[in-house]
Amino acid sequence: MDAVTIEEAIRNAIETERFSAYYYDQLSLITEDRRARGFLMKIAAQERRHAAKVERLGLMLADRELVRQACVDVSLAETTCSSWDGEETITYHKALEIALETKNNVERFYRTLAGLLRGEVVALFTVLADDEREQIQALERFMRTATPPPQRCLSH
């Protein structure tokens, strides 16, 4: 990746969060399992709140207006998920695994951005990566206690 401006990095982060919300919304639309649907919708709502938070903080840190669109393909954090290969049905636990893998991908993305930049904005991306890590840990704790439903959860 070429040098990324602060404004581009912030826009990339905002769009990553927005795409994450879209991704989880789409998964929730195709699930047949109520628990999985509720779980995915909850994550989508968290991602929308996260996008708004990133935008607020980013605007405070940027010296000028943010660029209008991301300079990288932000869908890669979700669409490169190896846990879901587009199979017709996946279990509730598979939905949890997909969420876990995508959270790990987004955490790596933020840590990469933090390593590419200098100044105050590094703290923003470090905090975002740390937030993702906390969500990963909470998801891992939940996965250890979640019981699988008797039926399929996702189909498309």
Mean pLDDT, rounded, for 51-75: 69
**What are the chain's domains?**
6-146 (1.20.1260.10)
pTM: 0.73
pLDDT at 52: 92
Q: Which residues contact 34 (CB under 8 A, 6 or more apart)?
A: none
pLDDT at 153: 43
Mean pLDDT, rounded, for 91-112: 84
pLDDT at 156: 41
Mean pLDDT, rounded, for 5-33: 82
Q: Could you give the C-alpha distances from 91 to 2, 5, 67, 109, 120, in angstroms and in order? A: 40, 41, 40, 27, 42
% of the chain exceeding 90 in pLDDT: 12
